[in-house]
Each structure stands twice: as structure tokens, then as C-alpha cells.
């Protein structure tokens, strides 16, 4: 039998939200899907070398992951994320829109790239049409594409549900992709501090980038709450609090998450994790700060990450913030 | 009502007249200065781009002068500029002012709101739709005339015998234009300005280098933001053509012209996706400039501008493929005139030597 074609998927950016879908889709069609290893100093350095120097950390990381992956695969799957739903003018950050072009023009020796446009705001059955087009590029046609699409959709739904139940992305992925039974979660004692950790999935769930933020929080007895833990329906319902929707999908998610944790599930404080020089976040961060103040002066901290972020610096800031919250609570 | 608006190049002369003719008191904010920048930076998010900060400062200075309403343009993204209005309004409220920011989004995004905004302006100024149409024509002429004069000044400057004379005459032109109000007067003043500029003594033997300026619209148009790059280049004996003028932008966004199509088409092999702002145009125009025999291209962009960063990443490849030098200048509140001047001189030197080599090559 012929060796299965290897399709590469970088383990960053969209990986944390959309990987299970594509993993299931490609495997059902008989391809082997290969991801880059989790972020390391090596992938970061590669990215810094390859990417345009004014780019932000996530974009550099993406370049790094692609560079690490390119020689191990036959095809790179770098979807061009344009929109995932119909909502005003919602799209993704312009850097995402031009990402496949940036990659092509800055990295040498790339394998074939599939950069199909993910533009689900346009027309009906956009998801299905997208899958059909991707399969077409791989020379697969017919009913099995439909089956693969249906299965991938179920896997994706399961994954999102797993995240909403509070499983970490790797655990939820395991459950969704392999169909394993979810490990029982030990009933956690009521923590002293509940903290909303809001930001984009590629910063929140990449523990190299955020220098192990979640482990540190666990050590301090803090329970973190993320955007993905919000029941999707409740998250949707926050939409009416906007004056005008932001233009970027992840930013709208973060902002909705902020409203949710300010209104419905009260937390002791909000931490916004952002990347140095992030364009959309310049707006989002200010909005979050102002809203946190307007909704009962909820303490707010911005953690800005870049390629020089050190563990000590982040730890000190988080510790100080948590100490402040504990003090505040004791004072009542 | 006391109404104000942002400063963007010389367009304030037209907007001032528009508001006055509609029966409002136009508050022209002070020209952007170091103080504007300091005020704006102090109250803006750290990573907001420089247009946001200058506008923030301008608004606060307009409020100091008593503005009750500030009019600005919106947008549909994904460039951040489309969200400026919301954040500016929030910051102004946060500082305890009651001034409102009125945003004119594209009429396609919200017909009702657009008309509603206009209606409000007309009612509070006690003007009719008929006045608006009459005024609009005059304003349009004025915008066009201002752009024409500016372009002419940029064409003449590299040849001027007395350094700085063109800029002086150009300033005089602006003052004259401020006085003109009817369409007939505007046409007359335009004629006078053209003659005034044409009368500048010139050295016809000079062969100025040609540089195309591409990049983000605000920093291209507002001389304070780009440290008056076109005048600086002109006085170095370089002719520069920038990608966009406000009147062109207006005809383009309202669908009266389609000049952008050529650039978008040219960019296609490199960037096949609208990325907001003027990113795709920066790529396309660079290619077109190369084809039209320009010696080099300068890309102007605010620091942390998202579309222009994408464009920059792609321009390195374009520069290689089309053999045209590209200098990218990211502007922020720290950019100093001396640093800019040095970089420009070095770039111009390089272009000059390249041309020299090419000419020698052609001879031998």
C-alpha cells in the first residue's frame, strides 16, 4: 500500500480551537496528520529569525512552527482564517488574513501549501463547501468526504463541550479524538480566589509562551476561569452589551468573556493575557479595563508577553496581584 | 453648536467651511504639535497606533476650545481605525467631559444611522437638505483644489532655486483658499495659486530621483505624523508621489473611481486577500511604481499597524523580485526629525548611486 500523505498542522494559533476538527477530517480520509512539537525555545528562535521583525509574538511563533514542520511533511495545511460566523463585519486580525502570504514570502524551501480560505460568513453550507474544496485539493472526492465532514463536526462539538466542562485542551482533545471516556474530575475544594484569565487561546493554552501561568496559579490556590469554560450559549448572550462589535473573532470572544465574568459568574479579579504589540488588544485591553471599572471596580491586571518574557517577571506580578486580592477579600 | 473634527493634512479648510455653512460654529483644533502628542499619548492605550494618539490629543485640545461635538469617520475593519470612535468616546467620558463623538460609518453599514447623523447636524444648525447639497458641491471643489495645489507644490519643490520658497508659497495658498467660499471663488483662487507656484524660479537642469510613498493613509496625509516627509524629500531634490490624497480616497470609497483596482490586481500574486487598511495597496503600488520607473519606494506606517506589518513582510520579496529598494519607516511618538532625516539621506544616496551605475552601464 502506498504511504499515506503527511499533512502538517502547526501547533499554535488556531490549533487550540480547531485542530480536532481537521485531525478527524484528514484521518478519516486516510491521511496522516503531523503537528509540530509543543512550543520550545527552539521554535521561538526559528520564528524570530524567519518572521518580519515588527510582527507580534504569536505570528513569530507560527513562523517558527511552520519552519520546524516543513521538512517533515508533504503538505502544509495553513488555512486562511477569514471568518467563522456571520456577525457584522467580524473577521480575524489582518495578520491572520495575510498569514499564508507572509509565510510564503519569508520562509524558503516550503512544501506544498493548502491555504484554503475559511470564510464561513458567506453563503449556505459554507463549512461543507470548505471541506469539499480542501478534499479536492488532495484529490479525494465523493461520499466519504461527506462522511469525514460529519464525523469531524461531531468530534469538534465534543471537543468544545469538553473545554466548556473545564478540561484542558490536551485532555479534551484526547476525549474528542480517540473517543476515550473522560477522566473523572476530582471535586475541587472551593478555592480562595477565582480569577478570570482572559485572552487569545494561543497565549492562554501555550504554557511555554505564558511561562506556566496555570501551574503557578494552581500552586497559589487560585482557580483560573477561561473564555472556553463559559457555556457557549451564555457566551453568545453577552453580545448585546457591545456598542459596536469588534472586528476580530477572538477579540469578540475575549470581550464577551469579560462581560460574562463581570455579570454572571462573579470572579475576584480579571487577568488579561496579551502579546506585546498586539494590534487588536490595544483596543480590547482598554475596553476591558474601563468595563472592569464600570462593573463594580473589579481588579484588573494586564500581562503582556513577548519573546523575552521571563518566568520571574510574570510570577512576581501574578503573586502581587493575588496577594492584593486576598487582602481585599479579608477586608471585605 | 460648537463642532470640531480631526486634522488630516490640509482638509481642515474644507471641513471648517462645511460646518460653518451648515450653521455651526467650527472649532478648528490647533495644528497637531508636541503638546497634542503628549496629551494623546497620556490618555491612549500604550499600543494604539499613532493616528489614534494624535486624534486623541486633537480631540482633547478641541474640547479645551469648547467643542461640544466631534465628527469623525468610522469603518468596517479589520483595521483598528474603524473602532477608534468607540474607544475615543469612552476615554473622553472617563475623563469627565460631556463632549460627544459622532462617527460617520460607511452608508452601506447603516443607512439609517448615516442619515440620522446628517439630520441631527442639519437640525441643530437650522439648515435644510437643500443647503447641504449646495454646500457639498463647494466643499468638494475645495477638497479637489487643495489636493491639486499640494500635488503641484510637490512637483515644483525639487526644482526650486531658493530652498524653502515652495513651502512658503504653499502656505500662502492655503490662506487664500481659506477665504474662498463659493464655487466661483474657489476656482478663481485655485487659478491664482497655480500661477503663484508656477512663478517660483526653477532649475530645469536638475534630474530629481523619483520616490513613491506608500502606506497607511493617515500618516501619508498628515505632515505632522510623517514629519513632513514630502517637503523634506523635495528640499533634498527628490520628487515624491504619495499613494493617496483625501479627494481620491473619497471618490474611491464612494465608488466613483476604481483606481485601486490596478494596485490590487498587481498585488495578487503576493497577497490575495484584503487585509484592511491600506496593506494590499502598499504591496500593489510598490509593484506599479517599479513598473513605472520609480527609483525607490518608502513605506510609511504607524508603529504596530497590523496591515502594514503584513505588507512589510511581503515587500521584502517584492523588492527582490522587482529590483526596487524599499525603505519602511514605522512612526511613533518617539520618532525624531533628525533620525528620520538621516535615514532619508542614506536612502536617497543609495538610490542616487544605483541610478548612476545604471546610467553608466547604459553608456559603456
Sequence length of chain A is: 332
> Is there a contact between A274 and A198 (Cβ–Cβ < 8 Å)?
no
**DSSP character for A89?**
T
Considering only CB atoms, which chain A residues are within 8 Å of B77? 89, 91, 246-248
- Angle of the B129-156 helix axis to the B246-253 helix axis, nearest 10: 130
In Å, how far are B237, B294, B295, B343, B362 from B352, measured between CA atoms?
11, 12, 8, 14, 15
Considering only CB atoms, which chain B residues are within 8 Å of A247? 76-80, 82-83, 276
Considering only CB atoms, which chain A residues are within 8 Å of B316? 52, 105-106
Q: Is the pLDDT of residue B2 over 90?
A: yes
For every residue of A129-182, DSSP letters joined together read HHHHHHHHHTT--SHHHHHHHHHHHHHHHHHHHHHHTT--HHHHHHHHHH-PPP
d(CA A151, CA A153): 5
Q: Which residue of B has its CA nearest to A81?
A: B273
Centre a 10 Å sphere on the Cβ of residue B115 and count the other Cβ atoms it contains: 11
pLDDT of the residue at A177: 82
d(CA A303, CA B10): 41
pLDDT of the residue at B110: 77
B334 CB contacts (<8 Å, ≥6 apart)?
Answer: none
Q: Is the pLDDT of residue B300 over 90?
A: yes
**pTM of this prediction?**
0.90
pLDDT of the residue at B362: 67
Considering only CB atoms, which chain A residues are within 8 Å of B76? 89, 247
Q: Are strands A112-114 and B100-104 parallel, antiparallel or unpaired?
A: unpaired
Tell how many helices (H) and how many strands (E) occur in chain A: 14, 10
- The predicted-structure confidence for A3-13, as pLDDT tens digits, reads as follows 789 999 999 98
Mean local confidence (pLDDT), A269-273 = 94
CA B304, distance to chain mean position in Å, is 18
Centre a 10 Å sphere on the Cβ of residue A13 and count the other Cβ atoms it contains: 25
Helices (H), A165-226: 169-178, 201-204, 213-219
- The predicted-structure confidence for B125-159, as pLDDT tens digits, reads as follows 888 889 899 898 999 999 999 999 999 999 999 99
Contact state of A97 with B77 under an 8 Å Cβ cutoff:
no
In Å, how far are A55, B109, B289 from B218, measured between CA atoms?
21, 22, 21
pLDDT of the residue at A328: 87
Sequence length of chain B is: 364
* Confidence bin at B276 (pLDDT 50/70/90): confident
Q: Which of A93, A105, A246 sits opposite B83 (nearest CB)?
A: A246
* Cis bond upstream, residue B78 (ω within 30): yes
pLDDT of the residue at B363: 56
> Is there a contact between A226 and A218 (Cβ–Cβ < 8 Å)?
no
* Confidence bin at A1 (pLDDT 50/70/90): very low
For the sheet containing B209-215, what is the strand order?
B238-242, B209-215, B296-302, B326-331
pLDDT of the residue at A153: 92
Q: Is the pLDDT of residue B255 over 80?
A: no
Q: Are strands A6-9 and B238-242 parallel, antiparallel or unpaired?
A: unpaired
Q: Which of A276-280, B109-113, B341-345 has the weakest average pLDDT?
A: B109-113
Q: How many CA atoms lie within 13 A of A159 on its CB side?
A: 23
pLDDT of the residue at A218: 87
Q: Which of A54, A93, A282 sits opposite B330 (nearest CB)?
A: A54
A105 CB contacts (<8 Å, ≥6 apart)?
Answer: B270, B313, B314, B316, B317
Mean local confidence (pLDDT), A60-76 = 93
Q: Which of A54, A94, A105 sits opposite B279 (nearest CB)?
A: A94
Q: Say yes or no: ipTM exceeds 0.95.
A: no
- Best A105, A115, A294 member to test B by mutation, with max B CBs in 10 Å, is A105
* Confidence bin at B315 (pLDDT 50/70/90): very high
- The predicted-structure confidence for A281-294, as pLDDT tens digits, reads as follows 999 999 999 999 98
- Distance, in angstroms, between A106 CA and closest chain B CA? 7
Contact state of B306 with A277 under an 8 Å Cβ cutoff:
no
Beta pairing partners, B212? B241, B297
Angle subtended at Cα A172 by Cα A170 and Cα A177, rounded to the nearest 5 degrees: 90
pLDDT of the residue at A187: 67
SS3 state at B6: coil
Mean of per-residue pLDDT scores for chain A: 89
Q: Which of A72-76, A144-148, A172-176 has the weakest average pLDDT?
A: A172-176
- The predicted-structure confidence for A256-269, as pLDDT tens digits, reads as follows 999 999 998 889 99
C-alpha cell at position B64: 479645551
d(CA A205, CA A200): 9
CB contact burial B162-191 (16+ within 10 A = b; e otherwise): eeebbbebbeebeebbbebeeeebbeebbe
Considering only CB atoms, which chain A residues are within 8 Å of B309? 52, 54-55, 95
Q: Which residues of B touch A (CB under 8 A)?
A: 45-49, 52, 76-80, 82-83, 86-87, 90-91, 94, 109, 270-277, 279, 303-307, 309-314, 316-317, 330
C-alpha cell at position B172: 500662502
In Å, how far are A71, A93, B286, B363 from B268, measured between CA atoms?
27, 20, 12, 36
Q: What is the dihedral of CA B46, B50, B53, B54, to 10 degrees?
A: 160
pLDDT of the residue at A86: 84
Q: Is the pLDDT of residue A50 over 70?
A: yes
A313 vs B214, more confident: B214
- Best A246, A286, A289, A302 member to test B by mutation, with max B CBs in 10 Å, is A286
Centre a 10 Å sphere on the Cβ of residue B219 and count the other Cβ atoms it contains: 26
Amino acid at each position: 500500500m502506498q504511504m499515506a500523505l503527511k499533512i502538517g498542522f502547526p501547533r499554535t494559533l488556531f490549533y487550540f480551537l480547531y485542530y480536532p476538527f481537521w485531525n478527524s477530517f484528514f484521518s478519516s480520509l486516510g491521511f496522516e496528520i503531523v503537528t509540530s512539537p509543543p512550543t520550545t525555545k527552539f521554535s521561538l528562535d526559528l520564528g524570530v529569525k524567519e518572521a518580519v521583525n515588527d510582527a507580534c509574538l504569536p505570528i513569530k511563533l507560527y513562523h517558527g512552527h511552520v519552519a520546524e514542520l516543513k521538512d517533515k511533511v508533504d503538505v502544509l495545511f495553513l488555512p486562511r482564517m477569514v471568518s467563522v460566523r456571520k456577525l457584522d463585519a467580524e473577521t480575524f486580525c489582518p495578520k491572520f488574513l495575510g498569514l499564508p502570504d507572509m509565510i510564503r514570502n519569508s520562509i524558503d524551501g516550503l512544501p506544498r501549501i493548502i491555504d484554503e480560505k475559511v470564510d464561513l460568513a458567506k453563503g449556505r453550507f459554507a463549512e461543507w463547501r470548505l471541506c469539499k474544496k480542501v478534499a479536492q485539493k488532495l484529490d479525494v472526492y465523493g461520499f466519504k468526504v461527506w462522511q469525514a465532514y460529519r464525523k469531524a463536526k461531531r468530534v469538534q462539538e465534543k471537543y468544545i463541550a469538553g473545554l466548556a466542562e473545564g478540561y484542558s485542551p490536551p485532555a479534551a482533545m484526547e476525549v474528542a479524538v480517540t473517543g476515550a471516556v473522560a477522566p473523572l474530575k476530582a471535586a475541587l475544594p472551593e478555592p480562595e480566589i477565582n480569577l478570570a484569565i482572559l485572552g487569545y487561546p494561543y497565549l492562554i493554552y501555550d504554557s511555554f509562551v505564558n511561562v506556566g501561568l496555570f501551574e503557578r496559579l494552581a500552586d497559589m490556590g487560585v482557580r483560573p476561569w477561561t473564555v472556553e469554560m463559559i457555556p457557549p450559549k451564555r457566551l453568545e448572550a453577552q453580545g448585546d452589551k457591545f456598542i459596536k462589535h469588534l472586528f476580530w473573532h477572538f477579540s469578540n470572544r475575549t470581550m464577551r468573556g469579560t462581560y460574562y465574568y463581570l455579570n454572571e459568574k462573579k470572579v475576584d479579579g480579571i487577568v488579561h493575557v496579551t502579546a506585546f504589540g498586539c494590534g487588536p488588544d490595544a483596543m480590547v485591553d482598554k475596553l476591558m479595563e474601563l468595563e472592569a471599572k464600570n462593573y463594580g471596580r473589579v481588579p484588573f491586571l494586564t500581562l503582556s508577553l513577548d519573546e523575552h518574557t521571563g518566568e520571574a517577571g510574570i510570577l512576581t506580578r501574578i503573586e502581587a496581584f493575588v496577594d492584593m486580592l486576598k487582602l481585599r477579600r479579608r477586608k471585605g | 453648536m460648537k463642532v470640531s473634527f480631526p486634522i488630516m493634512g490640509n482638509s481642515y479648510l474644507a471641513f471648517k467651511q462645511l460646518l460653518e455653512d451648515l450653521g455651526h460654529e467650527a472649532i478648528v483644533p490647533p495644528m497637531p504639535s508636541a503638546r497634542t502628542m503628549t496629551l494623546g499619548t497620556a490618555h491612549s492605550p500604550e499600543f494604539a497606533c499613532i493616528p489614534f494618539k494624535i486624534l486623541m490629543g486633537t480631540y482633547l485640545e478641541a474640547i479645551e476650545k469648547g467643542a461640544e461635538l466631534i465628527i469623525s469617520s468610522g469603518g468596517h475593519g479589520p483595521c483598528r481605525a474603524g473602532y477608534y470612535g468607540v474607544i475615543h468616546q469612552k476615554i473622553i467620558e472617563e475623563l469627565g467631559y460631556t463632549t460627544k463623538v459622532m462617527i460617520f460609518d460607511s452608508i452601506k453599514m447603516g443607512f439609517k444611522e448615516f442619515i440620522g447623523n446628517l439630520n441631527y447636524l442639519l437640525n441643530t444648525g437650522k439648515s435644510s437638505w437643500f443647503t447641504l447639497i449646495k454646500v457639498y458641491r463647494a466643499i468638494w471643489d475645495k477638497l479637489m483644489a487643495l489636493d491639486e495645489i499640494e500635488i503641484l507644490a510637490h512637483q515644483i519643490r525639487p526644482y526650486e532655486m531658493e530652498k524653502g520658497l515652495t513651502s512658503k508659497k504653499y502656505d500662502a495658498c492655503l490662506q487664500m483658499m481659506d477665504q474662498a467660499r463659493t464655487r466661483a471663488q474657489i476656482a478663481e483662487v485655485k487659478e491664482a495659486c497655480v500661477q503663484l507656484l508656477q512663478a517660483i524660479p526653477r532649475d530645469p537642469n536638475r534630474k530629481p530621483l523619483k520616490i513613491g510613498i506608500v502606506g497607511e493613509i493617515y500618516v501619508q496625509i498628515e505632515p505632522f505624523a510623517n514629519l513632513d516627509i514630502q517637503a523634506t524629500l523635495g528640499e533634498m531634490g527628490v520628487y515624491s508621489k504619495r499613494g493617496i490624497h483625501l479627494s481620491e480616497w473619497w471618490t474611491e470609497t464612494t465608488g466613483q473611481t476604481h483606481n485601486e483596482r490596478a494596485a490590487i490586481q498587481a498585488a495578487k500574486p503576493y497577497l490575495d486577500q484584503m487585509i484592511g487598511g491600506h496593506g494590499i495597496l502598499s504591496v500593489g503600488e510598490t509593484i506599479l511604481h517599479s513598473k513605472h520607473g520609480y527609483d525607490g519606494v518608502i513605506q510609511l506606517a504607524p508603529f504596530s499597524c497590523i496591515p502594514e506589518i503584513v505588507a512589510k513582510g511581503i515587500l521584502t520579496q517584492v523588492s527582490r523580485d522587482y529590483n526596487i529598494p524599499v525603505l519602511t519607516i514605522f512612526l511613533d511618538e518617539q520618532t525624531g526629525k533628525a533620525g528620520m532625516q538621516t535615514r532619508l539621506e542614506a536612502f536617497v544616496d543609495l538610490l542616487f548611486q544605483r541610478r548612476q551605475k545604471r546610467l553608466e552601464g547604459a553608456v559603456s
